[in-house]
């Protein structure tokens, strides 16, 4: 699983969705703010017709996903709960979450969860949550 840490997964990212004059960027390229990118997030947001802001889970591979997650919704795995990811699978399509086709099983929960309902967590947050 992931070598990316929580802070890396939560860095703002933008996908180039259109060409523009004198661009050195390719359509489809993903720009991560903080990796030698000097423009601010606000600069990229000024051009939504050229750059699509990605949610933390969008355009990720299985290998980039976190080892630990925190719930970000009020389903069976309640908001604020932290758990360890046991396995990850990919759907071919999704009506509910068309931008996130990665689902995971987590420790102590039987249903699959979509990463769109989760946030990355750290091992330390997981261990702290498990303390009685």
Residues 77, 42 share a domain = no
Residues 119, 70 share a domain = yes
pLDDT digits (tens, 9 = 90+) for 12-69: 999 999 998 888 899 999 999 986 767 789 989 999 999 999 999 999 999 999 999 9
The total of structural domains in the chain comes to 2
Rounded alpha-carbon distances, angstroms, from residue 46 to 12, 14, 34: 14, 12, 18
In a domain, 1, yes or no: no
Whole-prediction pTM: 0.84
CA distance 62 to 80: 23
Domain, as residue range, for 11: 6-54
Residues 49, 107 share a domain = no
In a domain, 72, yes or no: yes
């Amino acid at each position: 699983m992931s070598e990316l840490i929580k802070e890396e997964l939560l860095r703002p990212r933008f996908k180039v969705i259109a060409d523009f004059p004198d661009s050195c960027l390719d359509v489809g390229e993903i720009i991560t703010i903080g990796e030698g990118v000097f423009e601010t997030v606000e600069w990229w947001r000024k051009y939504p017709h050229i750059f699509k802001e990605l949610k933390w889970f969008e355009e990720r591979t299985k290998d980039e996903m976190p080892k630990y997650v925190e719930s970000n919704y009020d389903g069976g795995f309640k908001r604020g709960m932290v758990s360890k990811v046991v396995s990850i699978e990919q759907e071919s399509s999704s009506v509910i979450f068309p931008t996130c086709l990665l689902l995971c099983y987590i420790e102590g929960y039987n249903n699959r969860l979509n990463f769109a309902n989760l946030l990355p967590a750290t091992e330390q947050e997981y261990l702290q949550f498990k303390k009685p």
